Amino acid sequence: MTDYLTGNYAGYTFQKAYAEKDRSGNTAGYIVIIEYNSTPVGLKFNSSGTFLKVLEQREGHDLTSHGWHHGGRFDDRDGMKRDTIALSSLPSNIKNYFSANYAKDTLDRAFINRDSSIVVLSTNNGAFATVFDAAGAFIKRVQLPAGTGQSNSIGLADLPSTAQSYLSTAYPNYVFKHAFQIMLNGAIQGYAVFIDANATKYAITFDASGNFVKAVTVR
């Protein structure tokens, strides 16, 4: 579990952990609560320490309603996409960074996080997520490991059913942001899906059949 947390949530702060017991008193799994980018993240692991899912969270006064309110930590769950930024509205230093370092990238989508950092999705023989801080300074660039080739934007309904099922199971009540289908010589290489789960953004990759390959914590 420690390796998983370190590999997927670099710089996280440990908060609490619990062991789940079955009726015989045996350990059935673990719940781990961490803080990542000033955001609480709850994760469930099986008894062997293998990741199972990110737990859905709600703020206290949302427990008896739909699980979000405007201005709250999880207010993107209504699908209004208030965290979306028009590419034309990106700060000039971010545009200049791409021009100087990734001039061949095609910018596709941009999102602003609760800490005012910005994530830009782009394509260039594959799909990428590039993260900048609130001042527009570069933080990191993540390649979405769905293969190389032509990246075509697709909707949630265009994903294989196996991929959709995995997302619903591993990231309950996630918010779909964007997805790419990676093609090479007319053949599907894989899929890269960008989601928000409990105020943390992830890139999830699947193979051509929709089987899970890898999850990357973007911000």
Residue 80's pLDDT is 80
> What is the model's pTM?
0.88
From the centroid of its chain, how far is CA 190?
Answer: 17
Question: Looking at the structure, do residues 86 and 73 belong to the same domain, yes or no?
Answer: no
Domain limit, last residue, from 36, 63, 78: 78
Full residue range of the structural domain in which residue 203 is found: 80-219
Q: Are residues 72 and 89 in the same domain?
A: no
Distance CA 42, CA 51 (A): 11
pLDDT given for residue 204 in this prediction: 95
Tokens 């782009």 belong to 122
Number of domains in the chain: 2
pLDDT for res 59: 84
Give yes or no: residues 106 and 209 share one domain: yes
The whole-number pLDDT of residue 196 equals 93
* Dist. CA 29–CA 85, nearest whole Å: 39
Co-location of 44 and 129 in the same domain? no
Q: Confirm if 218 and 131 have CB atoms less than 8 A apart.
A: yes
Task: Kindly report, residue by residue over 125-174, the tens digit of the pLDDT.
Answer: 889 999 999 999 999 999 887 777 889 999 999 999 999 999 999 999 99
Domain final residue pick, 78, 109, 139: 78
Asked if residue 100 and residue 74 are part of one domain, the reply reads no
What does the pLDDT read at residue 115? 87
**65/47 same-domain check:** yes
Residues 132 and 195 in one domain: yes
pLDDT at position 123: 92
Q: Do both 151 and 202 map to the same domain?
A: yes
Which residues of the chain have a pLDDT value below 70?
Answer: none
